[in-house]
């Protein structure tokens, strides 16, 4: 049976444990990929994949990724919400892998809202 390589997991744990953001619990940005039936059918998982790859490659540790269900705007999927601490969340519409990479690099990392892809600015809940 194919098994988990516990040794490799241990190595990751040791390497990651020193990171400060992890202990302080500071999450500067929350990115939500809307993962309802409509989102998935429109390509949300691929958007999520490119987001996770970007985070991995950039090495940032203060960005948390999460998923949510459908919020009723199915025709504009895939949708992604970017919530920077102390700022109103921005919802992006019709996302794809390239747009996700751009939003990550420009908005998440540099704070510049990518208005051409934006659907709405909402009032913060968190």
Partner 1 sequence: MLELSMNILDIVENSTRAGASLIKISITEDRGDDILRIEIVDDGEGMKPDIAEKALDPFYTSKDVRRVGLGLPMLSHAAKITGGRFTIESTKGKGTVVTADFGHSHIDRQPLGDMPGTLVTMIAGNPRVDFVYTHLSDGESYALDTREIKNELEDVPIDHPKVIQFIRENIRDGLKEIGAGR
Interacting residues toward partner 1 by CB under 8 A: 1-6, 8-10, 12-13, 15-17, 22, 33, 35-38, 40-41, 45-46, 48-49, 52, 55-56, 61, 64-67, 69-72, 74
Distance of closest approach, residue 115 Cβ to partner 1, in angstroms: 25
* Beta bridge partners of residue 33, listed in sequence order: 67, 80
Q: Which lies closer to partner 1 via its Cβ, residue 3 or residue 116? A: 3
* β-strands 29-34, 63-68 pairing: parallel
Q: Which lies closer to partner 1 via its Cβ, residue 13 or residue 123? A: 13
With contact defined as beta carbons under 8 Å apart, do 110 and 82 qualify? no
Q: Which lies closer to partner 1 via its Cβ, residue 7 or residue 110? A: 7
Q: Which lies closer to partner 1 via its Cβ, residue 49 or residue 93? A: 49
Q: Verify cis geometry, omega within 30 degrees of 0, for the bond prior to 122.
A: no
Distance of closest approach, residue 80 Cβ to partner 1, in angstroms: 13
How far CA 24 is from CA of 18, 65, 87, 113, in Å, comes to 11, 17, 20, 27
């Amino acid at each position: 049976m194919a098994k988990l390589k516990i040794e490799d997991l241990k190595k990751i744990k040791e390497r990651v444990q020193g990171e400060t953001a992890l202990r302080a619990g500071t999450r500067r940005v929350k990115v939500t990929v809307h993962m309802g039936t409509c989102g998935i059918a429109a390509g949300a998982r691929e958007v999520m994949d490119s987001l996770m790859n970007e985070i991995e490659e950039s090495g940032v540790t203060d960005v948390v990724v999460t998923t949510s269900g459908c919020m009723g705007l199915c025709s504009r999927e895939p949708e992604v919400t970017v919530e920077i601490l102390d700022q109103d969340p921005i919802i992006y519409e019709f996302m794809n892998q390239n747009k996700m990479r751009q939003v990550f690099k420009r908005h998440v990392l540099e704070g510049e809202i990518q208005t051409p892809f934006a659907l709405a600015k909402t009032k913060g809940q968190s």
